[in-house]
Structure 1
Amino acid sequence: MGKGGELSEGVLKKIVLSYTYVAIWIFLSFNVIVYNKYILDRKMYNWPYPISLTMIHMSFCSSLAYLLVRVFKVVEPVTMSWDMYIKSVVPIGLLYSVSLWLSNSAYIYLSVSFIQMLKALMPVAVYSIGVIFKKETFRSETMTNMISISIGVGVAAYGEAKFDTWGVILQLGALAFEATRLVMIQILLTSKGITLNPITSLYYVAPCCLVFLVFPWIFVEFPILKETSSFHFDFLIFGTNSFCAFALNLAVFLLVGKTSALTMNVAGVVKDWLLIAFSWSVIKDTVTPINLFGYALAFLGVVYYNHSKLQALKAKEEQKKAQQADEESGKLLAEKEENNGTSKNDSLN
């Protein structure tokens, strides 16, 4: 087989691996969402304790991350002082704990399909908070796009057959806290040169989340669980659910690390449509034409936003390459002038 054949095989292998990472991420993300809905929904498993479920996830992830980092040494821990941990990781842990608590709570009140439609507002939340914290530049064109996404989600909400105000408030709150967490990661960690993969991220952040969740749990859910003497801990249900949540973090690392964040965004759109179809066909949630029309509007806005981000990244890379080329040309010119000067001196001597 010639070089052309070898190149084709290499490209084919890369494409197959990329699609495999996408499929794994979609499968795990899909399963975690549906599994959480199954556990928390009163008409299914009927265990409506979102704080407790999140604490189980964080306990499992903390323990497994500790084993992988400290015992099996699969990854190296990041060098971090207590002062940096308190100032950087703790605020992120607080935001993450509240985001998970609120998002899991929303499953009690809203359908899976409607939750996915509301999640289309994530770019709006991230961009708006980024502008507030001066991590994003305000552009009227981008803000117009954000407004179009919001209008689309608003139309979808208007067409929701089982609209629940409290559930919407919980989901919107979860989006706001998650968007703030993502911006804070840029401000508190990335700007300081600290990068955490999913394992080290869980190693540092999950125990922090667990501590923050203990306080609301004591006052909100513990008294109810204490009175429910019939409850027994189902290790199979909660164990597999927690393992799926942990595996999802690793899948995110594989997908972003081996492909790109843009690929994950595109895969997320596919996953959302699959969840909406599953919610309608299997769980038998009501999905109205107005729902779909509104989400389609929001979907187009999200696609345009991702396209704009990709173009901006390409332009930035081209500018960086051009700058590097100019610097290399300047160095070569300086070396040439220096060599010419040396040659003239040798001739004079």
Structure 2
Amino acid sequence: MSRLFSLGLIASWYSSNIGVLLLNKYLLSNYGFKYPIFLTLCHMMACSLFSYIAISWLKIVPLQTMRSKSQFLKISALGIIFCSSVVAGNISLRYLPVSFNQAIGATTPFFTAVFAYLMTLRREGWLTYVSLVPVVAGCVIASGGEPSFNLFGFLMCIGATAARALKTVVQGILLSSEGERLHSMNLLMYMAPVAVAVLVPAAYFMEGDVVGITISLARDDKKFIFYLIFNSSLAYLVNLTNFLVTKHTSALTLQVLGNAKGAVAVVISILIFRNPVSVTGIFGYSITVAGVVLYNEAKKRSRND
């Protein structure tokens, strides 16, 4: 029963991760809902609501309260970085196929290593840095062979990837003391409302009458509101299943599954959206994934040493 439960969690984690990615692409590109900021706002509102229900009502994890103004400011900074990464990622999906988006996203370890060095002056072992060469080289090769390459979408995706890495590093710095460290689910509960507060004026000033357009779309197509609610719920489920898989398996298992997830997402997206791919692009992405695997192994070895 324990093994079946773990397999169910892993299946839920895969489904929610890949599902939200594909549905984002469908809404922003194929369906024609060209409002990535508002879509991100819906995601953050769902994360705020479901996080509160999961922690305060369902007691999935113990509630942790913020202890100081300083801690609040640190969490707010993380919330803004988190929000920026999601918005940039959603914007990129308007212009890039999911397969190429995933190839760029796989370069997260490179940006993590760069920010860790710039902000903490922490040096990794030489093997770790060597493993980053195929990570970057594969992305460059994939970019050169991408039939649907779009410069703006590419820059947005790079920005989203860099912001995700920056959040990881900044989180380690800002919430490093025992008194300020928060559980991942509590951190999401506090970050999501900050993101909402930032996204409301951003959507108003940058996307015009997006609320009126959304209401009009919902009237014309009853399925649209279902897509929006389901998509927003999946955005929270990604975080919840990420926590549950780590809790009931291990961080290493999540790491291995994460390496495979990108490849699965690429195959499914190509089958669904029929976007053109090239042998060069596939070759480049394969090199990047191999580099990520080598990077994770090098990090694990350096920790053991």
Mark yes or no: TM-score above 0.5: yes
Moved more, 147-156 or 57-66: 57-66
Moved more, 71-80 or 168-177: 71-80
Between the aligned partners of 1:77 and 1:248, the Cα distance in structure 2 is 20
Between the aligned partners of 1:15 and 1:127, the Cα distance in structure 2 is 35
Letter aligned with residue 190 of structure 1: S
Letter aligned with residue 271 of structure 2: S
Distance 1:295 1:123, change over 3 A: same
Alpha-carbon offset, residue 304 of structure 1 = 0.7
Between the aligned partners of 2:260 and 2:117, the Cα distance in structure 1 is 28
Letter aligned with residue 93 of structure 1: G
1:263-302 C-alpha deviation (Å, 9 max, x unpaired): 2121112211111111222210111100111111111111
- The two structures have a TM-score, normalised by structure 2, of 0.90
Checking the alignment, whether the CA contact within 8 Å between 1:113 and 1:275 is kept in structure 2 is: yes
Checking the alignment, whether the CA contact within 8 Å between 1:58 and 1:209 is kept in structure 2 is: yes
Alpha-carbon offset, residue 258 of structure 1 = 1.9
Of 279, 282, 297, 1:289 maps to: 279
Checking the alignment, whether the CA contact within 8 Å between 1:60 and 1:242 is kept in structure 2 is: yes
Moved over 6 A (4+): none
Match in the other structure for 1:156: 142
The higher-RCO structure (CA 8 Å, 6+ apart) is 2
Checking the alignment, whether the CA contact within 8 Å between 2:71 and 2:180 is kept in structure 1 is: no
1:37 is aligned to 2:25: yes
- The two structures have a TM-score, normalised by structure 1, of 0.80
Letter aligned with residue 216 of structure 1: A
Of 229, 239, 244, 1:239 maps to: 229
Letter aligned with residue 243 of structure 1: S
1:268 is aligned to 2:258: yes
1:64 is aligned to 2:50: yes
| Rg comparison, structure with higher value | 1
Distance 1:193 1:292, change over 3 A: farther
Moved more, 268-277 or 101-110: 268-277
SS in 2 for 1:190: coil
Matches within 5 A, 1:1-349: 15-41=3-29, 44-134=30-120, 136-223=122-209, 230-232=216-218, 234-315=224-305
Checking the alignment, whether the CA contact within 8 Å between 2:204 and 2:210 is kept in structure 1 is: no
CA RMSD of aligned residues (A): 2.2
Structure 1 alignment gaps of length 5 or more: 1-12, 316-349
Letter aligned with residue 66 of structure 1: Y
SS in 1 for 2:147: coil
Between the aligned partners of 1:229 and 1:202, the Cα distance in structure 2 is 28
Letter aligned with residue 34 of structure 1: L
Alpha-carbon offset, residue 160 of structure 1 = 0.1
Between the aligned partners of 1:95 and 1:217, the Cα distance in structure 2 is 17
Alpha-carbon offset, residue 198 of structure 1 = 4.4
Structure 2 alignment gaps of length 5 or more: none
Q: How many residues align?
A: 301
Between the aligned partners of 1:280 and 1:65, the Cα distance in structure 2 is 33
Percent identical residues: 29
